[in-house]
Amino acid sequence: MTWDNQPPVLPPRPPTPPTPAGTWEPPVPPTWGSGGPGVPVPPAPPVPPVSTPAPWGGAPTPPPERGATPSGPRRSNSFLRVVVATVVVVGLFGLGFGIRSLVDGNTTTIIRSSAGSGQVTTTAVTIDPGSEPIAYVAATVSPSVVQIETTNGVGSGVAYDTDLFITNAHVVGTASTVTVRDSEGTAVKGQVLGADTGTDIAVIRAIGLAAPAAKLATAKPNVGQIAVAVGSPYGLEQTVTSGIVSAVNRPLPNQRSFVINMIQTDAPINPGNSGGALANRNGEIMGINSSIYSETGENTGIGFAIPISTAKRVADQLVAGKTVARAGLGLSGPSSTPSGSAGAYVQSVTGGGAADKAGIESGDLIVAIDGVPVRSFDELRGMASGYSPGDKVVVEVNRDGKILEVEVTLGTLN
């Protein structure tokens, strides 16, 4: 490191003793495709067009050494040159520091306790969500976010029920047990109840942690609203970042060609953030952070989270020991419409399938599902990921210039 203006020359001093062993150095994040044993590793893809980034790849961030003394961050420039035009899977774990939140009306009181010389002192801090919404969300959400450690690295999880934690399937990989650490530093062994690579959701049961179930959002997110991510980028534990919801219903295919309509955010998330929480200003979990689009391997303001409605539905099926079933309409179509109009063009209908039984025909243009506009066939595929087979939806169809409403009972996607 050099300075523009050098300091004055000082008299010689005794030599500085060498840095003691165990000096902390930041972990080097994994490069693309560093999956664990048994996890398929895709080849490094060519530079993808911005409009269709591929959302998954890579392993969780390797865990940093604990108990070591920081000597100042250093960055590997060679790593930054390795990952080019890829989407990096990221991981996230919670902000904690032994904080407990007490909600009273429109404020949160945080009690921080410190012990020393046999005495315990307590300081109360009140946070007004109106003037300090990010701090309020951090204090509300952080106790429910845990760190997940595997032999392949570190990720994150969110408590959503008693002793149950949602995370990413790529965080747990093929492991049957993991280490789960709460915001107070307590670590226990957790059992992986199941993982679904199609949606990149997994569930872990861990008993004995001080991690209350987070409040899950029921309302759909809106573009422009506050988004708060809680996590551990590059192994820097207990980090909170914030931004906005940049887009909703962003269709992204994964390695299994299963499309999920994601929440896009510019809240900084980086390698080390996977499986963590994306929360709204009320401290409600609206998504599980999963991936970023990047040309360097670092955050560039384009991150993606799995909507909590999708994550919770899949998690419930995994806890029940069921195979995650995919909902489908039983039709196919091109990515863009022949006329250039917004919507999902129906090219063919599967005989006896859900669409066929409801009367949808080839040549129809699907423009909305349950009142939510459909702009493309890829977006229609992603919408299906939010439903289960047997669910009934109202499909708006443009047929020869006339808008028809058709009720469809969704089938199972093969």
pLDDT tens sequence across 280-332: 999 999 999 999 998 888 888 999 999 999 999 999 999 999 989 889 999 99
The answer, yes or no, to whether residue 4 has pLDDT greater than 60, is no
Computed over every residue of the chain, the mean pLDDT equals 76
Residue 27 has, within 13 A of its CA and on its CB side, a CA count of: 23
Last residue of a domain, one of 322, 352, 381: 322
Burial 32-55 (b: 16+ CB within 10 A, else e): bbbbbeebeeeeeeeeeeeeebbb
In a domain, 57, yes or no: yes
Which amino acid is located at 237 in the chain? E
Full strand arrangement of the beta sheet holding 119-127? 100-104, 107-116, 119-127
Residues 217 and 333 in one domain: no
Q: Residue written as tokens 């917004």? A: 342
Last residue of a domain, one of 322, 347, 369: 322
Residues 300 and 346 in one domain: no
Q: Report pLDDT digits (tens) over 266-278.
A: 999 987 789 999 9
Which amino acid is located at 325 in the chain? A
Active-site entry in 101, 142, 156, 200: 200
d(C-alpha 235, C-alpha 156), whole Å: 11
Alpha-carbon distances, residue 107 vs 4, 104, 131, 213, 227 (angstroms)? 47, 6, 10, 20, 19
Predicted confidence band at 231 (pLDDT cuts at 50, 70, 90)? confident
Predicted confidence band at 255 (pLDDT cuts at 50, 70, 90)? low
Active-site entry in 183, 274, 290, 291: 274
Q: What is the per-residue pLDDT for 239?
A: 84
d(C-alpha 366, C-alpha 278), whole Å: 31
Last residue of a domain, one of 277, 299, 322: 322
Q: What is the per-residue pLDDT for 65?
A: 54
In a domain, 244, yes or no: yes
**Residues 144-169: what's their mean pLDDT?**
93
Residues 130/94/259/401 CA torsion (nearest 10 deg): -10
Please tell me the total count of domains within the chain: 2
Q: Residue written as tokens 């952070």? A: 289
Q: What is the per-residue pLDDT for 125?
A: 56
Q: Residue written as tokens 């207990």? A: 238
Q: Which residues pair with residue 119 across a beta bridge? A: 116
Active site residue 183: no
User: Which domain CATH number covers 132?
Assistant: 2.40.10.120
Percent residues over pLDDT 90 in the chain? 55
* Tokens linked to 359: 């009367």
Residues 368 and 246 in one domain: no
Residues 296/154/225/308 CA torsion (nearest 10 deg): 120
Q: What is the per-residue pLDDT for 34?
A: 33
* Tokens linked to 92: 């996230």
**Residues 223-247: what's their mean pLDDT?**
89
Ramachandran class of 257: left when φ > 0, alpha when ψ lies in -120 to 50, beta otherwise: left
Active site residue 101: no
**Residues 76-95: what's their mean pLDDT?**
36
Active site residue 51: no
* Tokens linked to 85: 């035009």
**Residues 45-54: what's their mean pLDDT?**
41
Which amino acid is located at 48 in the chain? P
Alpha-carbon distances, residue 336 vs 5, 248, 254, 360, 397 (angstroms)? 58, 19, 20, 19, 16
Q: Residue written as tokens 């806890």? A: 319
Residues 198 and 283 in one domain: yes
Q: What is the per-residue pLDDT for 182?
A: 92
In a domain, 12, yes or no: no
Q: Report pLDDT digits (tens) over 172-196.
A: 999 999 999 998 899 999 999 999 9
Residues 275 and 387 in one domain: no
In a domain, 156, yes or no: yes
In a domain, 271, yes or no: yes
In a domain, 142, yes or no: yes
Q: Mapping DSSP to helix (H, G, I), strand (E, B) and coil, where does residue 82 land?
A: helix
Burial category of 253 from C-beta neighbours within 10 Å (exposed 0-12, middle 13-18, buried 19 and up): middle
Q: Report pLDDT digits (tens) over 62-77.
A: 555 544 433 433 333 3
d(C-alpha 168, C-alpha 322), whole Å: 18
DSSP codes joined into one string, 133-197 = HHHHHHHHHGGGEEEEEETTEEEEEEEEETTEEEE-HHHHTT-SEEEEE-TTS-EEEEEEEEEET
Q: What is the per-residue pLDDT for 109?
A: 31
Q: What is the per-residue pLDDT for 3?
A: 39
The answer, yes or no, to whether residue 103 has pLDDT greater than 50, is no
In a domain, 183, yes or no: yes
Q: What is the pTM of this model?
A: 0.70
Q: Could you tell me the residue range of the domain that residue 96 belongs to?
A: 29-61+86-322
Active-site entry in 101, 142, 170, 242: 170
Residues 332 and 394 in one domain: yes
